[in-house]
Structure 1
Amino acid sequence: MDVIVLGGGLMGTASAYFLARRGARVTLIERNRIGTGATVASFGNIRRTGRHLSQLPLAHRSLRLWNEAEKMLGRDVEFRATGHIRLIFDDGSLADMRAYAEAARAWGLYLEELTSRDIHARFPGLGPGAIAASFSPHDGSGNPRLIAPAFADAARRLGVEIVEGAEVAAIRHTGPDFLVTTSKGSFTAECLLNTAGAWGARIAAQFGEEVPLDARGPQMGVTEPLPYRIPPVVGIWTRDKDHGAYLRQVERGNIVFGGAAERVAVDLDPGHAVADPTRLTTQLRAVARLLPAIAQVAVIRTWSGCEGYVRDMLPVMGRSMTTPGLFHAFGFSGHGFQLGPGVGDAMAELIATGCCETPLDDFRIDRFGRAV
């Protein structure tokens, strides 16, 4: 079986790797460089807490692969299962957390509820005003700058052809095959996998499948290093987007943070997202609620990236409903990093065998037409 994968982020490189492991002949085409789109803009959060319940089977599958990543890929991608804590500052958010925890238990996710005393004893310096928290000990973080190149290199060792800097000029379904014409030549295959991120809806539309997707850029930042004292990823339970901050401390001591700032609109041509410095003060105020010490350190860099947000905040995954041999995996709406290895494994299974052990029905591309 020949497969062309469009898009060289985490979803595309993981898919190429797992397809090659199943014996497929794979060509991956990337318009820029591997891992330079939404993947590199990611916060690096590997969390299952707070996900839409229908995503949890895929998230569990992916977490197993994150745990195997170093052995599987032959390098350390800085996955650390240090846990994920979400702080709670009001009774309404505590009720929300408890309701989610009860519902998620049936899907195999078990959250520990921490009291204020627990938080201060186990994680001193975090959320002095928090009344409670949830804790998921098996989640954690990884390095967004390492994971896609690691999958790409492992895929190359399995024979995958990776073509970077290739602008796609045309895609045609010619009889049994797909013909993809690019600035680096033309490629044919019997299957086409669309992992083009924020550009994925454009590709789907060429085959009569409309997806309501907007391109947005998150605002991310990192501080100078501090002594390493915060192992878990830190977030918050809140309905107030102005307080929806999150942070993690890398082993080198720097604190990576995001959230609590409106995502900026991104023009897909050329598709570059730029952080807005005027939003940094508000963002840091929200982050300081989680970690007051951040007010005493310098921010050394901010950045953004182009992500695709679907109207219902669920990804598009699975086979095309209009074109045999076409498959989609895009629109992860800013929370795809944890899912990446599982997405690649699941799509490879679906393409190679025609079925998938992980339920994907909620992510079908025709759900928008059915809802009309």
Structure 2
Amino acid sequence: MTAFARVPARADVIIVGGGFMGAATAFFLRTHGLSVILLERDLVGQAASGTNFGNVRRQGRYLPQLPLSNRSREIWGRLPELIGEDAEFLPAGHILVTTSEEDGARLEQYARDCKPWGLDLTMMTGDQARAMFPMVGPDIRAVSYSPHDGHANPRLAAPAFGRAARRAGARVVEQAEVVSIDRNSEDFTVETADGNRYHAPLLQISSGAWGRAMAATFEEDVPMAPQGPQMGVTEPLPYRIHPVIGSASSVTEEGVYLRQVKRGNIVFGGGRRSTADLATKRARLDPMNTLRQMPYLARLVPAMARLRVIRTWSGVEGYVQDSLPIMGPSDRIPGLFYAFGFCGHGFQLGPGVGATMAELIATGRTDIPLDPFHVSRFQRTVPTHTAP
């Protein structure tokens, strides 16, 4: 055998897609003792997992998603002991603010509804919030405060789990573009562009916005479209904005959010999303959207009006028609699992998704309710979810 011969590789599980969900699943599968091959087309965490806003929030989520979100928050709190890195997670709190009475009433209703799901929120008037958070603008009338949420660095999180998975014994293969997936009576066979083939009886598709095409090869289509969120970062100023601040407005253009990192820069995003192209792996950056964001950001924090924007960016994300992810087993193919389409709100869920999918794959069960996210829901009528 020459040094250049391609050797088939086999494991208990193959994961296609090395974003946050895939890398975290690979790590947790190793804690269950299963062998894992993680295939990533580019670099681990390079796509949406590394270009998002970095929000680690629970409030505002679809209520049946809170058990998963709560599990994930618990894992975020012990990342250093678990994987040896903290991904710059700051549990500095998260506040949703509004300038309208109608949106304020919706926040109050959500605060009541989420309590049985294990999330306690504090409602404040604008004056009460400004006493606690002096940077909040004078137009803010109502605030919902989640003290244990926060933010982290998306450029660090998925790669950290990828490194931890490799240290735990997973085979992590980067620059491995998948060109075909086949299944016989025993195994899935995944072939990559370099001609290598990988075999396993179990397969998880975690390829983000590209997950729809892969699921469709197994005759499970998902109404999902690629889009690009619009984000930017300002010049630094003294660190004083501790919580993440987001608008709870029901008006798309007003739905902006921001956070300050300890280096002083303010990261922001929200408003309209742009188009994205799966073939080129690029999302269109719209400079006009940055201009539209600024007055709404200044309404949240007036100091934003005086800051220079030093960089803007976007990334390719998959948005499912009902704004909920695809997560759980295939409805048609034994041994096939999905974890993709997190609609721009998957970063906080990453560790919990990994732990839950690994548990499901390794044991056949999980206590986290996944039925609302099952791919089979598109065979029946499901109400569209709109988060506060």
Q: Does 1:292 align with 2:311?
A: no
Seq. identity, %: 52
* Greater than 2 Å deviation, 4+ residue runs: none
2-structure distance, mates of 1:289, 1:313: 27
Match of 1:99 among 95, 105, 109: 109
Matched, 1:5 2:15: yes
1:88 Cα deviation after fit: 1.8
Tell me which residue corresponds to 2:182: 172
Take 1:94 and 1:169, find their aligned partners in 2: how far apart are those partners? 49
Secondary structure of 1:239's partner? coil
TM-score (norm 1): 0.98
Counterpart residue number, 1:85? 95
**1:273 Cα deviation from its structure 2 partner:** 1.3
Deviation at 1:76, TM superposition (A): 2.6
- Kindly state the Cα deviation for residue 41 of structure 1 after the two structures are TM-superposed: 1.5
Q: CA RMSD in A?
A: 1.0
Match of 1:215 among 209, 226, 234: 226
Is 2:134 the partner of 1:124? yes
Show the counterpart of 1:246.
257
The answer for unaligned runs of 5 or more in structure 1 is none
Q: Distance in 2 between matches of 1:216 and 1:255?
A: 23
Aligned equivalents of 1:116 and 1:207: distance in 2? 51
One-letter amino acid matched to 1:27 = I
2:274 to 264, 272, 281: 264
Deviations 1:299-328 (A, max 9, x none): 110000000000000001100011110000
Give the AA of the match of 1:190.
P
Q: TM-score, normalised by structure 2?
A: 0.94
Find the aligned partners of 1:76 and 1:348 in 2 and give their Cα distance: 21
What is the alpha-carbon distance in structure 2 between the residues aligned to residue 363 and residue 257 of structure 1?
29
Secondary structure of the corresponding residue to residue 283 of structure 2: coil
Structure 2: which amino acid aligns with 1:338? Q
Paired AA for residue 322 in structure 2? D
Match of 2:343 among 329, 333, 346: 333
Question: What's the CA shift string for 1:88-123, capped at 9, x where partnerless?
Answer: 211111110111111111111111011222211111
Tell me what 1:200 maps to.
211
Deviations 1:9-46 (A, max 9, x none): 10000000000111111000011111011111210001
Q: Is the 8 A contact 1:307 1:334 kept in 2?
A: yes
- Segments of 5+ residues of structure 2 without an aligned counterpart are 1-10, 383-388
Matched residue SS, 1:248: strand
Residue type of the partner of 2:222? Answer: V
1:76 and 2:59 aligned: no
**Matched AA of 2:55:** N
Q: Which residue of 2 aligns with 1:276?
A: 286
1:161 aligns with 2:171: yes
Corresponding position of 2:7 = none
Contact 1:87/1:127, CA 8 A, preserved across alignment: no
Please state whether the residue corresponding to 2:78 is helix, strand or coil. helix
Q: Which residue of 1 aligns with 2:70?
A: 60
**Superposition deviation, residue 161 in structure 1:** 0.7
Structure 1 residue 365 displacement after superposition: 0.3
Contact 2:111 2:123 in 1 (8 A): no
Count of aligned positions: 371
Give the corresponding residue for 2:8: none
Deviation at 1:134, TM superposition (A): 0.6
1: CA distance between counterparts of 2:200 and 2:61? 35
Local SS of the residue matching 1:295: helix
**Secondary structure of the residue that 1:32 maps to in structure 2?**
coil
